[in-house]
Amino acid sequence: MSRSIYDIRRYGIIGFLVMSVAVVAVFLYFSDSLVKDLSYQERARMQVWADATREIVNLSGDESGEDTSRVMDFLLSIIEGNSNIPVLLTDSAGTILMHRNFRLPEPVDSTMPFYISETNQKFLDRKYEDLKSGSNKIVIEMGGGERQFLYYEDSRLLRALSYYPYVQVVVLLAFVLIVYYAVSSTKRAEQNKVWVGLSKETAHQLGTPISSLIAWMELLPDLGVDEGTVAEMNKDVKRLSTIASRFSKIGSRPAMEPGDLNRVAVGAAEYMATRISRQIKLEIIPSQEPLPVLISAPLAEWVMENLIKNAVDAMEGSGSITVKAYAEKNMAVVDVSDTGKGISRKHIKHIFNPGYTTKKRGWGLGLTLAKRIIEEYHGGQIFVKSSEPGVGTTFTIQLPLK
């Protein structure tokens, strides 16, 4: 797996977010259009209501016959037909002449429908003050220079529709987040199973040839091989055995024992110093005091060796590496710095992802496993402290002091 896969994934996420925003924008646009259309319809209804009110007033003094009575009945049916839009009718002095469809704080006595209690009157007066400053107002020309004013609120349906799109957006976002969390958790669980299975299988496969090598090492002195050479070979065979043991520990929580991070860091660095190019200078700056921590020494050494190997690869043949151990506040800290090619800012956030690598060889699991060892097993942190292309990189390990 190469780093381009993470670029593709990042662009895919950006594309998905852009598409989601576009879908939400279209949805809100059509919802807003629907709300505006309904608002226009309600205003048209109120205009008809206002016209009916004016005609009723004009016909109230006319008793010329049956036709007038039918017209009056028709106009009254229009007035009575409004059962969902709250309205106030006032004269030019602001006196409330009629009200409909308001949820009054006190129930109206059916035996005295025109009586308004003091509490209800105060409620209607407040409504009038709110409505007269708004745009939902229709002027009714009554004739003879007199005017009445019709004020109305949006219906409950219109108010509900105006909030509904935003409620849907919130629900949609919550659903997407839940699905994303579920998929991410499932993916992490699957990745963990793959890493654990791969690590344990690697340890199992290494076991047989290492056992054979140990047996052959016992025969080498009898075959006349130089003792110094045999001793060095023994060190590497034992290191192979340690590596196999490390792989077997992945997937099960290792035993954490009191130890000195300073000693572990120095030991890992000294081991690597004899196994890297002489063109690379490895400087070790130990802490002046012990750094007591709870630690699995074999796994912590693995992390240190992995960081040093990555630093060696980053320098492509020559440069310097500095391993510095020290205490900072309540943390034991190890910095591994190199003078290599550095890491660009856009790639720093991906380097601990499984499969991410800038090298032509390798699986891209070293830093992923290092992060798991330090953060999940040791309760510490591992991160890129600083990096600049062409200058170098510093990785930092922090473990709680005990």
**pLDDT, tens digit (0-9, with 9 covering 90-100), for 138-167:** 888 877 778 888 888 888 888 888 887 788
Question: What's the number of CA atoms in the CB half-sphere (13 Å) around residue 112?
Answer: 5
Q: Is the pTM of this model over 0.85?
A: no
Confidence of residue 292 (pLDDT cuts 50, 70, 90): very high
Mean pLDDT of 257-261: 94
Helix (H) or strand (E) run with residue 263 in it: helix 261-273
**pLDDT, tens digit (0-9, with 9 covering 90-100), for 319-345:** 999 999 999 989 999 999 999 988 888
Helix (H) or strand (E) run with residue 36 in it: helix 3-59
* Partners of 343 in the β-ladder: none
Q: Delineate the domains of the chain, giving CATH numbers in brackets.
A: 3-154 (no CATH), 254-400 (3.30.565.10)
Q: The tokens of 393 are what?
A: 């990189």
pLDDT at 2: 44
Query: In angstroms, rounded to a whole number, what is the distance separating the alpha carbons of residues 20 and 14?
Result: 10
Query: In angstroms, rounded to a whole number, what is the distance separating the alpha carbons of residues 167 and 178?
Result: 17
**pLDDT, tens digit (0-9, with 9 covering 90-100), for 171-195:** 878 887 888 788 778 777 776 676 6
254 and 377 in contact (C-beta within 8 Å)?
yes
169 and 177 in contact (C-beta within 8 Å)?
no
**pLDDT, tens digit (0-9, with 9 covering 90-100), for 353-399:** 766 666 655 555 678 888 988 998 899 999 999 999 889 999 999 99
Q: Quick check: helix, strand or coil at residue 53?
A: helix
Distances (CA, A) of 39 to 80, 124, 132, 255, 320: 20, 23, 18, 70, 73
Q: The tokens of 257 are what?
A: 């024992």
In 185-318, beta strands by DSSP E: 257-260, 280-285, 292-295
Question: What DSSP character marks residue 154?
Answer: P
H helices of 64-155, in order, are 66-81, 118-131
pLDDT at 1: 45
Query: In angstroms, rounded to a whole number, what is the distance separating the alpha carbons of residues 386 and 342?
Result: 9
